[in-house]
Amino acid sequence: MLANDHAALTGIGIIRTVYDPACGTGGMLALTEEEMHALNPRIRVELFGQEVNGESFGICKSDMLVTGHDPEQIAFGNTLTNDAHKSKTFHYMLSNPPYGVDWKKYQEPIKAEAETQGFDGRFGAGTPRISDGQLLFLQHMISKMRDDEQGSRIGIVMNGSPLFTGGAGSGENEIRRWMLENDWVEAIVALPTDLFYNTGIQTYVWLLTNRKSNGRRGKVQLVDASSERFWKLMRKSLGSKRREIPEDARKEIVRIYAEMLNGAGAQGDFSKIFDTTDFGYREIRVERPLRLNFQATPERVARLVEEKALAKLDASERDELLDALAGHLPNEVFRNRGEFERALVKALREAGIKIGTPVKKAILSALSERDETADVCGDATGKPEPDTELRDHELVPLNEDWQDYIAREVTPFVPDAWVDESYRDESDREIGRVGYEINFNRYFYKYVPPRPLAEIDEELKTLEAEIAGLLKEVAA
């Protein structure tokens, strides 16, 4: 987090504030202060934090006393529902919040703040799904960025969920969109698996700032530090922690980030620079026309009996209707809905039966089946009616015109398809909903060709021979 800040942190009379909203026993705060003092022994570092676990809070507060810090700057309680450092801003913020922990039991105050305060509060961009509150912590930290020349920098460790969970319009997506469109995301570093004591899943370090350098404006750096190049196995595991990042590898990761390395060369496979818009897309809704055939077969009439609208009729009315359909409708397949409706009206008139709109809809639904050879079903104005089962969504890159994309990727293959222009983004009101996702696998995927068949066959023969030998020993 301190890379590229060496000049700003050296000198006399430098004061920096550091904050962790889920500080635990205060380890990350202490390490940050240690690194700052290594750069400038005369720097004054003020540490702030909040912790919900009573035992961890007590340890952290005691450590603040021992090291000469103000223990009152470490608060007890739930950061998300009771911000103990309200109205304060900080130079540096870092955190390793809990992964995949639901916030259902305290959702009411969070949702109330999001709805009533909007961007004047902490959660104006949106709220993620109840099962994972990581992005709530990140929004909380963003709300505490300093609005001055020095600005703030945030470092937060999260799992892969915040990168891509939730499609266009979802809470997670709107939070990602808010961060990227405000150009706060500086870099994301993918860490190896099995790196932490309590979880073996892969984690990612997000680095955000509101004081990007000129070269980083409008850009996001992705660093893949998950390969064997950056870790080694521990001699003895600690819970789920089986790997560690050696000091020389840590320095290389920091250098890759600090120098904003990109493209071909030694670091070409591990670091790539993107425009913020490269992660965006428009979700365009593509419709296809509804095509149905109609016929009063015994199977379809049986489906009609199960319709709710018929259940509301008394038994005699239901029987009369079914007899009319069986006895007065032509025993043929109608591939035009208008023709079938006219035949239906005639059959019911001949039987002396009147029906309401709900029953008519039930008849059309039960006696129809999708048929690609049938005529298109249209509304009263002749406009084609969409088939919801054939509805599709195309994800068009944000920097590409959606009309060009549809003309190239959709129309040649389904000429009768059209774009639902009423499906619009709530923010910019343009056609299609805007989404953002960051998929590391897409950008750093490396193809590994399968082994030759001859090699696999030889290995299978060797294994078969070994098994046969073991069976002979058992039988002997």
DSSP state letters, 139-198: HHHHTTB--SSS--EEEEEEESHHHH-S-TTSHHHHHHHHHHHTT-EEEEEEPPSS-BTT
Over residues 36-47, the pLDDT tens digits come to 999 999 999 999
* Extents of the domains making up the chain: 6-278, 292-370
* Phi and psi based region of residue 77 (left: phi greater than 0; alpha: psi -120 to 50; beta: remaining): left
- For residue 403, what are the CA distances in angstroms to 19, 101, 284, 392, 409? 47, 41, 10, 16, 10
Q: Which of 23-32, 299-308, 359-368, 419-428 has the lowest mean pLDDT?
A: 299-308
Over residues 71-86, the pLDDT tens digits come to 999 999 999 999 999 9
Over residues 436-470, the pLDDT tens digits come to 999 998 888 877 788 889 889 889 999 999 998 88
Write down the pLDDT at residue 421.
96
2: pLDDT confidence band, cut at 50, 70 and 90?
confident
Neighbour-count burial of 380, counting CB atoms closer than 10 A to its CB (0-12 exposed, 13-18 middle, 19+ buried): exposed
Neighbour-count burial of 46, counting CB atoms closer than 10 A to its CB (0-12 exposed, 13-18 middle, 19+ buried): middle
Q: How many other C-beta atoms lie within 10 A of the C-beta of residue 426?
A: 9
Residue with tokens 């004591």: 197
Burial 57-67 (b: 16+ CB within 10 A, else e): bebbbebbeee
Is 286 a residue whose pLDDT tops 90? yes
User: Which of 47, 45, 39, 40 is CA-nearest to residue 15?
Assistant: 45
390: pLDDT confidence band, cut at 50, 70 and 90?
very high
Is 264 a residue whose pLDDT tops 60? no
Whole-angstrom Cα distance, residue 31 to residue 15? Answer: 17
Is 105 a residue whose pLDDT tops 50? yes
Is 268 a residue whose pLDDT tops 70? no
Tokens of 110: 């969070």
What is the mean predicted confidence (pLDDT) over 206-212?
Answer: 96
Which one of 56-70, 238-252, 440-454 scores highest in mean pLDDT?
Answer: 56-70
Which residues are within 8 A (CB) of 267 and not within 5 positions of it... i.e. 6 or more apart? 256, 261
Q: How many CA atoms lie within 13 A of 43 on its CB side?
A: 23
Over residues 157-194, the pLDDT tens digits come to 999 999 999 999 999 999 999 999 999 999 999 999 98
Percent of the chain with pLDDT over 90: 73
Pairing of strands 44-51, 74-76: parallel
CATH architecture of 6-278: 3-Layer(aba) Sandwich (3.40)
Is 415 a residue whose pLDDT tops 80? yes
Is 267 a residue whose pLDDT tops 60? no
Whole-angstrom Cα distance, residue 415 to residue 238? Answer: 60
Write down the pLDDT at residue 446.
79
- For residue 295, what are the CA distances in angstroms to 301, 303, 335? 9, 12, 9
Q: Edge to edge, what strands does the sheet with 185-190 contain?
A: 74-76, 44-51, 15-20, 92-95, 153-159, 203-209, 185-190, 219-224, 271-275
Say what the pTM is.
0.85
Q: Which of 95-104, 415-424, 426-435 has the lowest mean pLDDT?
A: 95-104
Write down the pLDDT at residue 263.
61
Write down the pLDDT at residue 187.
97
Is 266 a residue whose pLDDT tops 60? no
Which residues are within 8 A (CB) of 236 and not within 5 positions of it... i.e. 6 or more apart? none
What is the mean predicted confidence (pLDDT) over 8-23?
Answer: 94
Percent of the chain with pLDDT over 70: 99
Is 129 a residue whose pLDDT tops 70? yes
Q: Which of 38-52, 66-80, 222-236 has the lowest mean pLDDT?
A: 222-236
Tokens of 384: 């084609």
Q: What is the mean pLDDT of the chain?
A: 92
Is 52 a residue whose pLDDT tops 80? yes
Report the DSSP beta bridge partners of residue 190: 204, 224
